[in-house]
Amino acid sequence: MARKSQPIEVSDAEKAELITMSRSLKLERRYVDRANIILMSIQGETLDSIVSNSGLTRRVVNKWRNRYREKGLEGLKDAERSGKPSVITAAQKAMVVQKACEKPGEGYTNWSQSRIAEKVGISQSKVFQILKKADLKPHKIDYWCGKSPDPEFEEKMLNIVGLYMNPPENAIVLCVDEKTQIQALDRTQPMLALKGGSPKRLTATYKRNGTVALIAALAVHTGEINAKTIKKNNSDNFLMFLKKLDRTYRNKTLHVIVDNLSVHKNKTVKEWLSRKRKIKLHFTPTYSSWLNQIEIWFNILSKDVLKGGIWKSTEQLCEQLMEYIQTYNKTRARPFQWTYTGNPLVN
C-alpha cells in the first residue's frame, strides 16, 4: 500500500510564494523542483507519487520535505558549504567590476568573461559569479533613443501625436516612408523544407538578383496600406507617390507624416504642394523617425515577408510584396493601439 507523505502545514502567503517559485522561468531548476515537492506534499500526494511526478529520488524528496518542516521557505535554500575559503581577494573582485565597466584596449570594443579572467588572473567561472552578483552584463548592449537636437522637437512631436490622437474632421492622416535596398536573394541550393525535429534550412551561400525599394503609406486610423515598388528612392518617385495618394483619397484633406530625408523637401515637391491646399506635409523632429507609425508596419513586413525569402528576380520580389499588401489590407489592417502608460524612460 502506498504510503502518504506526512502533511505539511503552510500559510496562505507561503503557499502563494511556493506557487510563484514553481512557475518561475528565471529560478534555477533545483528551486522549482523543491517548490513542487512541497506543493505536492501539501496536496496529500503519496511519497511514490511525488517521486514519480518529480523524477527525483526518494532521498531527495524526503530531504526537502524535512528541511521545509524545520525552516519553512528558508529551508529550500542551499545550505552554506564548509570547506576551503575563497581565494578571490576583494581587490580582484573590484578589478573584475572595474574591467567590465571600462572600455577595453588592444583594439577590442567589448569585454568577454574569458579576457577579464585572463587580465585579473582568476578563472572564468569566478568572473561569471562576480559579475552575476554585481548584476553586470558586459556582453549585452541595449539601445535607446537619444535626445533629439531639434529645437522644435516638442512642437513637432505634439503636432504629430495630436494628428494620431485627435485628427481633424474629414481628414486622412498618412504615415509615409521608403524601405530601400530590399535584396532579391536566391540560394545556391534548393531550400530544405521544415520537418519533424528539423527547421527549414537555407544554404549560407546566396545569389543577389538586384534590389528594389518600397514606398508605402499607412492610413493611421484604418490601418490600410497604400504602396508602390520603385527602383530608386528619389524626389521624382516620391512626388509620383504623393500624386497617387491624392487620387486615392479624393476630396479629403491629407496630413502626410514623413521624415527629414532630402527627397521629401525637394524643390519640385514643394512647388507641387504649393498648389495643393488639401495636402500638408508634417516632418518628424530630427533623429525621431520612430514617431512615424509606418516604421512599425515595415517591421511587420520584414518578419512576414523578407526574412528567409527566396526570389529569382526583382520582378518576383515585387509581385510578392504587392500580394502581401493586398492580403494585409483584406485580413489584418487595423489601427495601431497606443499601449505605453508609464513615465518617460529618459528625461
State residue 101's pLDDT score.
92
Strand partners, 294: none
Q: Secondary structure of the chain in the HEC alphabet?
A: CCCECCCCCCCHHHHHHHHHHHHCCCCCHHHHHHHHHHHHHHCCCEHHHHHHHHCCCHHHHHHHHHHHHHHHHHHHCCCCCCCCCCCCCHHHHHHHHHHHHCCCCCCCCCCCHHHHHHHHCCCHHHHHHHHHHCCCCCCCCCCCCCCCCCCCHHHHHHHHHHHHHCCCCCEEEEEEEEEEEEEEEEECCCCECCECCECCECCCCEEEEEEEEEEEEEECCCCCEEEEEECCCCHHHHHHHHHHHHHHCCCCEEEEEECCCHHHHCHHHHHHHHCCCCEEEEECCCCCHHHCCHHHHHHHHHHHHHCCCCCCCHHHHHHHHHHHHHHHHHHCCCCCCCCCCCCCCCC
pLDDT value at position 330?
97
Instruction: Look up residue 118 and give its amino acid.
Output: E
Give residue 269's Cα distance to chain centre.
Answer: 36
Residue 41's Cβ-count burial label (10 Å; 0-12, 13-18, 19+) is: buried
Q: Is 192 left (phi over 0), alpha (psi -120 to 50) or beta?
A: beta
What CATH fold (topology level) applies to the domain 153-193+200-331?
Nucleotidyltransferase; domain 5 (3.30.420)
| Residue given cell 500500500 in the structure block | 1
What pLDDT was estimated at residue 342? 62
Structural contact between residues 19 and 5, judged by C-beta atoms closer than 8 angstroms = no
Q: Can you give the pLDDT at residue 26? A: 81
- CB-side exposure of 7: number of CA atoms within 13 Å? 2
Among all chains, which residue has been given the C-alpha cell 500638408? Answer: 280
pLDDT on residue 347 = 46
pLDDT at 336: 94
Contacts of 76 (CB under 8 A, 6+ apart): 21, 31, 34, 35, 38, 64, 67, 68
* Rounded Cα–Cα distance for residues 111 and 172 (Å): 50
Q: Is the dihedral of CA 11, 16, 22, 28 positive or negative?
A: negative
CA distance 120 to 95: 7
CB atoms within 10 A of CB 253: 16
Mean pLDDT per 10-residue segment, the chain (347 residues): 63 87 86 89 85 88 88 82 72 92 89 92 92 89 82 93 92 96 90 83 89 97 96 95 95 95 95 94 93 96 94 95 97 88 59
Sign of CA dihedral 243, 244, 245, 246: positive
